[in-house]
Structure 1
């Protein structure tokens, strides 16, 4: 099966986005860990691995098509953050950027009648709905519970619980 140069570029660009997201979440996990947010650290370590798995899905898809996947270098992520709430807002923004990129690829696939890539991307469309909802829900907790030390401790516990939820990598 052949894919267009435009789709190949979009898929390789997505590989880079996922790799950068993984490193960003790793940096967030590290900051949380040294700041004393053990639950949040566990949550972001899981998120980092999830994004790495997403990157690998794109690499394998390209390779399965006989197209050489471009393994990206990554940007050095921020390593110092203002607060746990700032991290969650940044993570939500990152997920919104990924969602936009996925939707762009879906539009390319539809326009080019690339049914295989369209089918491949469907999982990511659904995954992004879940990802955005996850971070929006955590952000709501700051409004509901508060931003004092006790509230942040509770949010850290919530994030720890969320880190224990198994990740669906789509692998069978």
Structure 2
């Protein structure tokens, strides 16, 4: 008796997401190591925390595949891209990565809807919300860097900003959670 509740297409796209989350973890580790080597300990800490978060996402997808009777396939991942030239390029790489990951999540949710696999569609909604938070978080950091002067920020501004990264929450407040009593 076949106990796999995932279609071949769904199982394949979820396994691609496992690889994507593993790659994301490596990207964050690589950028964190770069930030540390440049003296940005707060940025490095923030990126290292996110590397672990991406690994947790990978495990979450793996658990779902197994829970639904599917087979997880672990594959190799690509080497992270070259180091950034500056903090702005670092954050832009993080943002682009998050946008790419959002598109991959949308592909999963769209395929699940097309196949009427409501369990996978529902599972994917957690990741949709997570990606909204991730993009908002990085956009906020890019905005703070822009205010500090972007690529022309002074050493003092960068030092202050680095300290803010250390304290930065790992989740962003979303607009849909705002109210008159609790605005963003």
Q: What is the Cα deviation at residue 57 of structure 1?
A: 0.5
| TM-score (normalised: structure 1) | 0.91
**Unmatched runs of 5 consecutive residues or more in structure 1:** 168-172
| Maintained 8 Å contact 1:28/1:79 | no
Corresponding residue for 2:50?
47
- Give the 5 Å matches for 1:1-172: 2-78=5-81, 80-146=83-149, 147-162=153-168, 165=169
SS in 1 for 2:77: coil
Structure 1 runs of 4+ aligned residues shifted over 3 Å read none
The size of the alignment, in residue pairs, is 165
Q: Distance in 1 between matches of 2:69 and 2:10?
A: 14
Question: Unaligned regions of 5+ residues in structure 2, if any?
Answer: 172-184
Q: Greater relative contact order (Cα 8 A, min sep 6): structure 1 or 2?
A: 1
Find the aligned partners of 1:93 and 1:56 in 2 and give their Cα distance.
23
Instruction: State which structure, 1 or 2, has the greater radius of gyration over its C-alpha atoms.
Output: 2
Shift of the alpha carbon at 1:79? 5.0
RMSD, aligned CA: 1.3
Under a length normalisation based on structure 2, what TM-score does the superposition of the two structures give?
0.86
- Show the counterpart of 1:170: none
